[in-house]
């Protein structure tokens, strides 16, 4: 008989987050955890949550594409999309890295600002051609009559750029850098007595604190 998924329980025993983490750099720790997750499917997948003008939150998975020297996290998207419209009115975001297999997660609270065009151009140029074409073909978050209609849009764009060696970046497509103000590291532990270490920004310094699970 198939187990009821709502009754599933797992005791977390893979690792711990000791008090030495409180004096660590949150960015070095994040880089280490990203490295630890390298063998997992989509280790750079992160859930980005935004809030629209009506106060309604939405979440979606995007891919982390960079961390700059200031610790800001980069992702790229269609700026006319639902998330892009939400960010235009409210740049506050929450990011979640859900590394379930490692019994870990990281939550980042911060503010998103658009990346400069030269950064957008450089990353767009590095994408596979099919991904570049789909950025033109898809009017992200807008209704479409059918899958066939979507594929027809893709075929039209493919024909449009067939003779072009380089596919230009659409003006509505670009990146955001999320500047963190709080970073929480969560490590699952036995009996739900989990480890939570939270770093908050105090001017130019980061202060670590252990919190109760």
157 neighbors 133 (Cβ within 8 angstroms): yes
149 neighbors 165 (Cβ within 8 angstroms): no
| Residue 192 annotated as catalytic | yes
Backbone angles phi, psi at 5, to 5 degrees: -65, -25
Gap between the Cα atoms of 14 and 187, Å rounded: 9
Backbone angles phi, psi at 113, to 5 degrees: -130, 150
Q: What is the DSSP string of 118-182?
A: HHHHHHHHHS-HHHHHHHHH--TTS--S-HHHHHHHHHHHHHHTTT-SSPPPPTTEEEEEEEEEE
- Give which of 157, 188, 183, 147 is closest to 22, Cα–Cα: 183
- Cα radius of gyration rounded to whole Å, the chain: 20
Which listed residue (192, 196, 210, 211) is catalytic? Answer: 192
Residues involved in catalysis: 192
């Amino acid at each position: 008989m198939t187990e009821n998924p709502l009754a599933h329980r797992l005791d977390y025993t893979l690792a711990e987050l000791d008090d030495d983490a409180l004096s660590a750099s949150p960015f070095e720790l994040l880089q280490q955890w990203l490295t630890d997750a390298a063998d997992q499917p989509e280790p750079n997948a992160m859930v980005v949550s935004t809030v629209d003008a009506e106060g309604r939150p939405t979440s979606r998975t995007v891919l982390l594409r960079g961390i700059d020297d200031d610790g800001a996290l980069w992702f790229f998207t269609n700026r006319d999309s639902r998330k892009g419209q939400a960010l235009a009115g409210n740049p506050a975001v929450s990011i979640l890295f859900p590394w379930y297999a490692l019994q870990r997660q990281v939550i980042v609270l911060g503010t998103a600002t658009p990346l400069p065009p030269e950064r957008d151009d450089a990353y767009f140029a590095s994408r596979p051609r099919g991904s570049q074409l789909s950025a033109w073909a898809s009017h992200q978050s807008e209704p479409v009559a059918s899958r066939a209609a979507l594929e027809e849009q893709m075929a039209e764009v493919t024909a449009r750029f067939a003779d072009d060696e380089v596919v230009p970046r659409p003006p509505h497509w670009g990146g955001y850098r999320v500047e963190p103000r709080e970073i929480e590291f969560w490590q699952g532990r036995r009996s739900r007595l989990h480890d939570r270490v939270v770093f908050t920004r105090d001017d130019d310094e980061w202060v670590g604190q252990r919190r109760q699970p």
